[in-house]
Structure 1
Amino acid sequence: MSTLPEPSVPSGTPVTDPAKRVLPPNPKAAAIVALSFTALLYLVELVDAILPMRLDQAGIHSRELSGLDGVLWAPLLHAGWSHLFSNTVPVLVFGFLAMAAGIGRWAMVTAIIWVLSGLGVWLVGPSNAVTVGASGLAFGWLAFLLVRGIFNRAFGQILVAVVLLGVWSGMLWGLLPGNPGISWQGHLFGALSGVFAAWLVARADKAKKATAGGTGNLAV
């Protein structure tokens, strides 16, 4: 084994912190992922509309053990085309921007929001109702985007968050109860899960930086 000094960065070369990126490192790949996921939602809704399968019943049945597996399927299901249309743009935009740290990191963040928001709905959602829709994911990605800049102390990300908040500020009303047929529980737990995911990501990035900073030399 031998040790090698850390490679030096040529003078004048900008150093970009991956954690502080605003756009995905590979925008084309990120766009394909966001479009593919959205296309999957449309395919599922098309199958549900054509075949008499009642796929919506596979959503989350709150506090019923038999409905717990709906946590896995609910974000893929929608209560009709209008429901899906209303979620399309937020899913595309927020999903794409959430890939700023890479598609792998996005998959982890999405999994956290997907599972935790679903479990929250299962615990406190309305009785005798089935909860479906990707809006929990959309709220989770939005919350992730709104707070990541604060955790990372990244001006660019904070600026993007301000723009998103200005454009989609009306979505925040979806966090409050009062609209019949709308799962404010899914929106609320989605947003909380997004904040939690942003905190976990920032903590992991700080730990990685601390480890890299203390290494000094590279052992091979």
Structure 2
Amino acid sequence: MEENHFKFTNSVVGVPLFFVLFLWFVYWLEIRFGFDFDENGILPRTFSGLQGVIFSPFIHSNIEHLYNNSIPLLVLLAALFFFYRKEAIEILLYGILLSGSLTWLIGRENYHIGASGLIYVLVSFIFFKGLQTQYYRLVALSLTVVVLYGGMVWYVFPKVDETISWEGHLSGLIAGFVLTFLYKKTEFKKVIKYDWEHPNYDPSEDKFMQRFDENGNFVNPPKPEIIEENQLEINPFFQSNSNVVYNFMKNKENTNEKNESKPES
């Protein structure tokens, strides 16, 4: 896979924007018509609570909760669809299902709602997958994610904040890490521009490298050997000791090609 794997497409902007706008639309429906979608969240270890595995990322308790999740989702989804565009849809869907299922298994007996679990899926996947590929662009992306959202790791521990679902955060972190192993490591091949980048490159045959000695000092190339050419032997038949004198005469007007006088008419 070459560097043209990273391409800007409409999905880089369209999918994150649509996803976040849909979250705001769901919240608008709730406050406009007086719906209570909290009961559609994840209720651990109950059959009815399984619906929350799918619905919980789209439900938020208040506008502050929704706003705090919107900005990270825009950034992380855009990064996902730009750097992992082939796997992005599957990671998004499987991340929601896997993190929701883990929350259903380990969560407290309360309704768990919000897209924060999905945010932890994205942070975890982008960070660990970038380190696994060892490709400089994806490693830089991993470090950027750490700088922006590294502080979120404290909210996967219990009793840090009793008002948040640390179980959902922990489930998202685990789900993102597991997904990095379910997808094959992408191989990135650098475009070879120079001869020394080839694996079978031999410096001893390079004309430029021959100008340097073992210590890296510039040296003049050895002088080329002068090869004396053998003089050609001339056949004695074409040789003479007598001087040959040539006389050049101008053409005369009244002479023909055989140097004879033209007859008068």
Calculate the TM-score normalised by the size of structure 1.
0.79
Structure 2 Cα separation of the partners of residues 15 and 108 of structure 1: 22
Structure 1 Cα separation of the partners of residues 2 and 150 of structure 2: 33
Structure 2 Cα separation of the partners of residues 60 and 15 of structure 1: 42
Identify the match of residue 111 of structure 2 among 119, 124, 130. 130
CA RMSD of aligned residues (A): 1.8
Match in the other structure for 1:8: none
Partner amino acid, structure 1, of 2:13:
A
> Is 1:113 the counterpart of 2:95 in the alignment?
yes
Partner amino acid, structure 2, of 1:140:
V
Match in the other structure for 2:18: 36
Structure 2 Cα separation of the partners of residues 59 and 147 of structure 1: 28
Deviations 1:129-151 (A, max 9, x none): 10000001111001111011222
Match in the other structure for 1:101: 84
Structure 1 Cα separation of the partners of residues 80 and 95 of structure 2: 12
Deviations 1:109-139 (A, max 9, x none): 0112101110111111111x10000001111
Secondary structure at the residue paired with 2:103?
helix
CA contact (8 A) 1:148 1:202 kept: no
Question: Shift of the alpha carbon at 1:17?
Answer: 6.5
Deviations 1:181-213 (A, max 9, x none): 21111111111111111222234x46xx9xxxx
Match in the other structure for 1:83: 65
Secondary structure at the residue paired with 1:62?
coil
Distance 1:105 1:111, change over 3 A: same
Match in the other structure for 2:149: 168
Further displaced range: 132-141 or 148-157: 148-157
Matches within 5 A, 1:44-63: 44-63=26-45
| The structure with more helix, counted as a fraction of residues | 1
Match in the other structure for 2:255: none
Match in the other structure for 1:139: 120
Deviations 1:20-51 (A, max 9, x none): x4xxx224331111000000000001101111
Partner amino acid, structure 2, of 1:56:
D
Partner amino acid, structure 2, of 1:193:
A
Match in the other structure for 1:159: 140
Identify the match of residue 70 of structure 1 among 47, 52, 55. 52
Larger relative contact order, structure 1 or 2 (CA cutoff 8 Å, min sep 6): 1
Structure 1 Cα separation of the partners of residues 32 and 122 of structure 2: 31
Runs of 4+ in 1 over 6 A off after TM superposition: none
Structure 2 Cα separation of the partners of residues 30 and 199 of structure 1: 24
Deviations 1:44-78 (A, max 9, x none): 01101111221121000111111111111000101
CA contact (8 A) 2:99 2:117 kept: yes
Gaps of 5+ in 2: 190-265
Calculate the TM-score normalised by the size of structure 2.
0.66
Identity of aligned residues (%): 26
